[in-house]
Structure 1
Amino acid sequence: MASPAPTSADRARQVGVTVSEVLCVLGTLVGVGVIGGTEVPESSGGALAADATLLAPAGAAFSIWSVVHAGLAAYTLWQWLPGQATDERYRQTGWLAAASMLLNALWLLVTRQGWIWVSVVVIAALVVVLGVLVRRLTEHPSFGVVETAVVDGTFGLYLGWVCVATCANVTAALVSSGVDPGPPVSEVWAVAVLALVAGLGVLLARRLDGRYAVALAIAWGLFWIAVGRATDEPRSTVTAWAAVAAALVVVVATARRKGRYRGPVDDSTG
């Protein structure tokens, strides 16, 4: 049976996603200093640098963005394939994907301006958008391994990483505003935030039926927080171990949930 003809709304969505991806790429080039010369860690008075707070991930953590951006580019091309325009899965998630790309670019731009608290609002909105998007992907499952990797894998990694980045962003904003009680109180706060991240990871595992991409991205961010606190200033053994424990909690919770859930696709990247 032939697919129904795309509507004007379908075509508008596809174009909107594509334009948003182009703007996201341009924003990324600004963020890494290719355009404008100042990288994100050097902006906002260094508030987002790898050694700025107890919850700042080590620099290598940000290499996950390369995977996410490659996935977003692949998704943008994928949604143009025949039949995708009228697929309910893309109708339900396309504009959310576009919004996530625009929010990504906006976050980079506001941090370059030093608007650290505005960046908190933007990244919080990004988490909400991605959470709704991945939930809708769960409600409209993929039936192919490639689609699962390109779509579910990309947005799962994106969501998981941004959850960790949001906590780091809020902490950076507080410290840059002078809210820094110093050790040992700051370490207690850091452990409490890491417990919150672990709780969020468990909640996402339950609500999203155990998506490994989300869990692995959260664990990735937490691992590099641990590395940062073990090898760089401000050093904190307590924070490092708490980050490792939080990562394990998220991965185990996701594996347990995945073991109970049997969706239409037996693929661990989603």
Structure 2
Amino acid sequence: MESRSKDVVRQAATIAAAVFMLIAATVGSGAVGGTSVDELQDGALSASGSYLAPAGPAFSIWSLIYLGLIAYTVWQALPAQRDNERQRETGWWIAATMVLNGLWLVTAQFLTLPLTVLVIALLLAALARVMVLLNRRSPRTWPERIVVDGANGLHFGWVTIATVANTAAWLTQIAPADWAEQAEVWAVAVLAVVLVIGVASALVLKRIAPALATAWGLSWLAVGRLTGEPDSTVTAIAGIVVAVALVVAGVVGVLRRRRAASVSV
């Protein structure tokens, strides 16, 4: 009985977290008045805020992520998922990611740029924890694979590149003016780090969704550097190379997972 009560509390808390996330997204994005994200923090979070900022259309992925998280929230609330061991392990963490997701927009709208970096770093860490926990058990059904692994994988992959962009925006604001001469060098160096971490993550997690989401952001980063300000062909090329490498690594990871599953059977 006690375990059942805890399960119900977890399900209810997840619903509450999703509601908070959606309300915060509505308020924080300026959809009901206030400042749009592009204009927040003196434009630091816009597509021209740094060399590592994706072009505007990249952010349309949030619609897919939110849709996936809403579907997950409904799915996890079903009675059949109440005693799902995967949900017992990950449910509270996923709820935390939705709270942090909403909190980032509120922070960007009403607080300071350094605090947005802190919040998004916590969000990335929580999502990484979710992905590690999900890897411990395989999904039992395709709906579970889509709404749990897929939705959270996209969230993790996008927040990975968003963390890079957010941090770059902050550093651009506080860095000495003469650092601008080396901006391209720093941008390529950061993308090299993203490459190493992203490929390692794809091969360890053996999932394609995070790689696709990060590659999506990197592709639009390249578009932004080729067609907008600040312009940088070098950064754009580096972004494209990293994006392709991540997708390849994601595919290799999935193939390895399937091969391992077939061998175990």
Instruction: Give aligned pairs, total.
Output: 262
Structure 1 residues 100 and 264: alpha-carbon distance in aligned structure 2, compared to 1, 3 A threshold: farther
Q: Name the counterpart of 1:212.
A: 208
1:163 is the counterpart of 2:152: no
Give the CA deviation at 1:206.
2.4
8 Å contact from structure 1 (residues 142, 265) kept in 2: no
Q: Name the counterpart of 1:253.
A: 249
Give the CA deviation at 1:37.
2.0
Paired residue secondary structure (1:48): coil
Q: Name the counterpart of 2:24.
A: 27
8 Å contact from structure 1 (residues 201, 215) kept in 2: yes
Q: Name the counterpart of 2:47.
A: 50
Q: Name the counterpart of 1:237.
A: 233
Residue type at the aligned position of 2:127: L
Residue type at the aligned position of 2:5: S
1:103 is the counterpart of 2:100: yes
Give the CA deviation at 1:138.
1.3
8 Å contact from structure 2 (residues 208, 253) kept in 1: no
8 Å contact from structure 2 (residues 203, 252) kept in 1: no
Paired residue secondary structure (2:82): coil
Q: Deviations over 1:179-238 (max 9, x none)?
A: 454555100000011111111211211221x21101100100000000000000110000
Q: Name the counterpart of 1:73.
A: 70
Give the CA deviation at 1:36.
3.6
Residue type at the aligned position of 1:240: A
8 Å contact from structure 1 (residues 158, 214) kept in 2: yes
Give the CA deviation at 1:248.
1.1
Structure 1 residues 217 and 59: alpha-carbon distance in aligned structure 2, compared to 1, 3 A threshold: same
Task: Extract unaligned runs of 5+ from structure 2.
Answer: none
Q: Name the counterpart of 2:90.
A: 93
1:221 to 210, 214, 217: 217
Give the structure with the larger helix fraction.
2
8 Å contact from structure 1 (residues 40, 48) kept in 2: yes
Paired residue secondary structure (1:261): helix
Aligned residues: CA RMSD:
1.8
8 Å contact from structure 1 (residues 144, 265) kept in 2: no
In structure 1, C-alpha distance between the alignment counterparts of 2:99 and 2:178, rounded to whole Å:
35
Give the CA deviation at 1:260.
1.9
In structure 2, C-alpha distance between the alignment counterparts of 1:162 and 1:115, rounded to whole Å:
19
In structure 2, C-alpha distance between the alignment counterparts of 1:24 and 1:40, rounded to whole Å:
16
Structure 1 residues 57 and 71: alpha-carbon distance in aligned structure 2, compared to 1, 3 A threshold: same
Q: Name the counterpart of 2:184.
A: 187
1:112 is the counterpart of 2:90: no
8 Å contact from structure 2 (residues 215, 244) kept in 1: yes
Residue type at the aligned position of 1:76: T
In structure 1, C-alpha distance between the alignment counterparts of 2:53 and 2:34, rounded to whole Å:
22
Give the CA deviation at 1:126.
0.6
In structure 2, C-alpha distance between the alignment counterparts of 1:263 and 1:32, rounded to whole Å:
43
Residue type at the aligned position of 1:237: T
8 Å contact from structure 2 (residues 222, 235) kept in 1: yes
8 Å contact from structure 2 (residues 204, 253) kept in 1: no
Give the CA deviation at 1:52.
1.4
Paired residue secondary structure (2:18): helix
Residue type at the aligned position of 2:52: L
Residue type at the aligned position of 2:44: A
Once the two structures are superposed, the pairs formed by residues 114-153 of structure 1 within 5 Å of their partners are 114-153=111-150
In structure 2, C-alpha distance between the alignment counterparts of 1:130 and 1:166, rounded to whole Å:
12
In structure 2, C-alpha distance between the alignment counterparts of 1:264 and 1:95, rounded to whole Å:
29
Residue type at the aligned position of 2:214: I
8 Å contact from structure 1 (residues 161, 218) kept in 2: yes
8 Å contact from structure 1 (residues 5, 86) kept in 2: no
Task: Extract unaligned runs of 5+ from structure 1.
Answer: none
In structure 2, C-alpha distance between the alignment counterparts of 1:174 and 1:148, rounded to whole Å:
37
Structure 1 residues 265 and 60: alpha-carbon distance in aligned structure 2, compared to 1, 3 A threshold: farther
Paired residue secondary structure (2:135): helix
8 Å contact from structure 2 (residues 207, 250) kept in 1: yes
